[in-house]
Structure 1
Amino acid sequence: MKKTVCELFAGVGGFRCGLNNIRTVEDYGKEEKWDTVWFSQWEPSEKKTQYAHDCYVYRFGTRLDKNGEDTTNYNIEDVDKTTIPDFNLLVGGFPCQDYSVASSLATSKGLEGKKGILWWSIREILEIKKPPFVLLENVDRLLKSPAKQRGRDFGVILACFRDEGYTVEWRVINAAEYGYQQRRRRTFIFAYKNNTRYATKILNTIGYTDTLEEENKEKCMESVILNDGFFAETFSVNKAKSAKMKVKRLSSEVGEVSDTFQCLFENSGIMKDGIIYTIKTVPNYHGKQITLGDIMETEKVEEQYFIPEEKLYYTDPMITHSDETKQRLPKEDRQTWQYLKGAKKLLRTSSTGHKYVFSEGAISMIDQEDKPARTMLTSEGGFSRTTHIVKDKMTGRVRLLTATEAERIQGFPTNHTKYCLVKGEKVEMPLRKRRFMMGNALVVNLIVDMEKTLNDIFDEE
């Protein structure tokens, strides 16, 4: 089978870098295995310059649709899906939203999602392009949303796949638990058409038939999750202590799933023929651990990254708590990293006039170099509790992460986001945007690992 790819919500190309094992700037243009025939990246909040798209184009060039037009920077909802070139693998890190449907219909035919919910564009592509394989990424809370109907959103997604003839595996993966440089938990979804050779191979391996008793079907599905499936083959796991398989059937119509479905999904599972099998697993990894210190700069760092002393502490550096229930600290004290990252108690008033004490625990002022980095967010580098602060290796001074360190935390080549191609002109991406792009990205190393399994699957297809 041809290794052709369509990358949705492409960002700056994390899936593309991972699939083609692009590790350094010298690797661009050497995509020998996986051919990305089309991609889509559009950021609605960017009114003037589409930095992510323009960075992607600078690194990889653009791709035209079947009409010979460049629609890669259109809102995906406005793209005519029939014009997308044919492909065999759909990938993307789609936004986490509310996946409820606009209305419950008697049948799922013609069912539409609410405007602005980008999952429905993925479903439309599944219907029109019918890719045999799909690999998607989302935040870990996808399995639990929304709070008032736990599991509904993921149930809607699974029902859509079922209706298009797919079997679906999922796994919540923390990159650090497989040796990589960031503690980042994300839900990965791997779906494959039921008429693929891979689907037949899996069923033969586990001895599954439609005539099996339910208890034996459950054992077969557990084998997929723990030993024989896509994620088990790529990232070894064990069954969590005292874990038991949960089995739940999806309603026959997507509208019914949206209205009534609830499920406490575990971190691993599979959906086949509308039946969900989910069980808690734990990583089985005993290899090398990459740490924050391993990816930090060892040479001279620009002065702009260093934090002035007056912005670090407002009092003794050993103080990690502040009590403002009786009186607020002065504004200049509160605008220090010590205050921001320290524990605090504040007196607040609710919308109904009720007074209460808001409490917040302390987090480490300086990030530990001997551990993987904490989860990087889009606010990285800003005045935020989640921003990483490190001690410079050359000078010992305290500073923020450099743009290249942020790239390495996500497994991108150094300086991947440095330049963009804007209206045919090479321009530098602003530092703030470079950090934002990395906060939005995935850990490329995980896709590198998944590619090895995908490559074998495609070679046998």
Structure 2
Amino acid sequence: MRQSVSAPLRVLEFFAGVGGFRGGLEGFPGLDEAGSGQRQFQVVWSNQFEPSTKRQHASEVYAARWGSEGHLNEDINHVLASSEKFSQLLATNADVLVGGFPCQDYSVAKSASAAAGIEGKKGVLWWSIHETLRRHLEAGQPIKHVILENVDRLLKSPTACRGRDFAIILASLGQLGYAVEWQVVNAADYGFPQRRRRVFIVAHHYSTGAYRTIADANVGSSTFLLSDHIPWDFAESVLKAALPWETKSALTAFSLPADPLEAQGSYTSLANGDTRFLTSGVYINGEVATLETSARVPDAANGQGAFPVRTLGDVVKATGEKSIPAEYFISPEEISKWSFLKGGKSLKRTSRTGHEYIYSEGAMSFPDPLDRPARTIITAEGGSAASRFKHVVQANDGRLRRLLPEELETLNGFPRGFTALDGVSDTKRAFFMGNALVTGIVKRIGDALAAAVH
């Protein structure tokens, strides 16, 4: 049952895009307020800046839909460098920080200044989150909870030492006094119409009840095992409450220093070169507990874990044949290009150094099946050029067509037409959805966090 809190949790939204986290936590403007009960979250400050583009399309859409109050379209590093702007950030009295940060190399080094702690590589935006949390802590205003999203390969990067980057992130949060949960989630497993695998990370400051719940469950054991060697199954964690799972492996535990530099130096991948971090886990007080999990399967006896299956066909059916612009249909002359790119192939190629090799790839469904969830939307989904990775569906009259921006929005849980704005092309709208997250997953996490706070 959805529970309410006495006052909305105040949220900072980093790397906001067009507002996926906000839509999941607050509900979308004009759609979700009615009948939803007391608001559980309120975004009081947001930031969106795309350094590679002159016009800030995503920020424009964000401001058009959510309003410009509290929204900043500026490089986050410039914000952190300004005492005045950071003071404004502190003045929001935020409880929660959320964001989908880029997956990069998180290596750290000693700062040249003895007064500074650690520094990441220039432009690695994880450290702007870390810096924000650290400075809130120094000001006596710790951010109580953090919700982050990233591609699931974060658990396995970099290739040279799989898992080291995630170890650095966990250690940097631990150093600031947080307990951390994580879970790899395929949105389709929880009733959403897109197969989108992402890792969600939820951290709780030591001043919170959620932190104490994790600490108490550990019962002081460095191996996260209960009596008779029965592993703690994270039954009280926010993520498991939001996104139920079942165990697929034994639980493993290992130590990880709550200091990013030490973690970077001491972490090693497994003997086979794989990461130590499995699909679900917890980190607290320098200890990691992790295990392989999957979404809980339906139980015919009591219905536990049953999620409705929503398909690409459900989304396409809602469009209606008459509303599809002609330019979205693939001409007969172009079908052979699409077929080649979608098909399996082994091609002889030559590298820049003159080395010859065989490039192989398997066949993809063409057109995309309508009786199952869609594949993951990527940022290159837009545009009319033939592509291996763009979705193509068959219309009722047999013609093949690309997906509309409204259909891509629906696949991520946005209202249809949410990103439509004068001067914003359909290609750019598709790019937004390739960068976005499935908002329904965020809503489930938000509901579970609000219940834990209550």
Quote how far apart the aligned CAs of 1:392 are. 2.0
**Structure 2 spans left out of the alignment, 5+ residues:** 1-6, 81-85, 137-141, 270-274, 297-304
Please tell me whether residue 223 in structure 1 is matched to residue 245 in structure 2.
Answer: no
- TM-score for the superposition, normalised by structure 2: 0.86
Contact 1:40/1:74 (8 A) holds in 2: yes
Contact 2:187/2:438 (8 A) holds in 1: yes
In the TM superposition, what whole-angstrom CA distance separates every residue of 1:118-150 from its partner, at most 9, and x where no partner exists? 011000111122200000000000000000011
Name the CA shift for 1:294/1:252 in 2 (closer, same or farther; >3 Å).
Answer: closer
Please tell me whether residue 412 in structure 1 is matched to residue 414 in structure 2.
Answer: yes
3-state DSSP class of the match of 2:441? helix
How does 1:55-70 map onto structure 2 within 5 Å?
55-64=61-70
Name the CA shift for 1:373/1:25 in 2 (closer, same or farther; >3 Å).
Answer: farther
3-state DSSP class of the match of 2:120? coil
Name the CA shift for 1:10/1:222 in 2 (closer, same or farther; >3 Å).
Answer: farther
Q: Could you tell me how far apart the structure 2 residues matched to 1:19 and 1:182 are? A: 20
In the TM superposition, what whole-angstrom CA distance separates every residue of 1:54-79 from its partner, at most 9, and x where no partner exists? 10000011234xxxxx6x11101110
Quote how far apart the aligned CAs of 1:111 are. 1.0
Which residue in the other structure is 2:245 paired with? Answer: 237
User: Comparing 106-115 with 78-87, which one deviates more in the overlay?
Assistant: 106-115
Residue 209 of structure 1, aligned match among 212, 219, 227: 219
**Structure 1 spans left out of the alignment, 5+ residues:** 65-69, 314-335, 420-426
Contact 1:28/1:60 (8 A) holds in 2: no
3-state DSSP class of the match of 2:130? helix
Q: Could you tell me how far apart the structure 2 residues matched to 1:246 and 1:105 are? A: 37
In the TM superposition, what whole-angstrom CA distance separates every residue of 1:228-268 from its partner, at most 9, and x where no partner exists? 2111111111110xx12221211353113223423421000
Q: Could you tell me how far apart the structure 2 residues matched to 1:106 and 1:20 are? A: 41
Please tell me whether residue 309 in structure 1 is matched to residue 348 in structure 2.
Answer: no
3-state DSSP class of the match of 2:314? helix
Name the CA shift for 1:156/1:338 in 2 (closer, same or farther; >3 Å).
Answer: same
Aligned length: 415
Quote how far apart the aligned CAs of 1:359 are. 1.7
Letter in 2 for 1:380: E
Quote how far apart the aligned CAs of 1:396 are. 3.2
3-state DSSP class of the match of 1:359? strand
3-state DSSP class of the match of 1:79? helix
Name the CA shift for 1:194/1:108 in 2 (closer, same or farther; >3 Å).
Answer: farther
Please tell me whether residue 122 in structure 1 is matched to residue 138 in structure 2.
Answer: no
Quote how far apart the aligned CAs of 1:410 are. 0.7
Q: Could you tell me how far apart the structure 1 residues matched to 2:398 and 2:30 are? A: 29
Residue 442 of structure 2, aligned match among 430, 436, 447: 447
Contact 2:382/2:426 (8 A) holds in 1: no
3-state DSSP class of the match of 1:432? helix
Name the CA shift for 1:299/1:202 in 2 (closer, same or farther; >3 Å).
Answer: same
3-state DSSP class of the match of 1:57? helix
Which residue in the other structure is 1:358 paired with? Answer: 359
Which residue in the other structure is 2:118 paired with? Answer: 111
Please tell me whether residue 164 in structure 1 is matched to residue 176 in structure 2.
Answer: yes
Contact 1:305/1:399 (8 A) holds in 2: yes
How does 1:24-63 map onto structure 2 within 5 Å?
26-27=31-32, 32-47=39-54, 49-63=55-69
Letter in 1 for 2:327: Q
In the TM superposition, what whole-angstrom CA distance separates every residue of 1:132-171 from its partner, at most 9, and x where no partner exists? 0000000000000000011111111101110110000000
Percent identity at matched positions? 40
Please tell me whether residue 288 in structure 1 is matched to residue 308 in structure 2.
Answer: yes
How does 1:119-158 map onto structure 2 within 5 Å?
119-129=126-136, 130-158=142-170
Q: Could you tell me how far apart the structure 2 residues matched to 1:221 and 1:12 are? A: 44
3-state DSSP class of the match of 1:15? helix
Quote how far apart the aligned CAs of 1:26 are. 4.1
Q: Could you tell me how far apart the structure 2 residues matched to 1:220 and 1:83 are? A: 50
Which residue in the other structure is 1:327 paired with? Answer: none
**CA RMSD for the aligned pairs?**
2.4
Which residue in the other structure is 2:372 paired with? Answer: 371
Letter in 1 for 2:254: K
Please tell me whether residue 348 in structure 1 is matched to residue 349 in structure 2.
Answer: yes
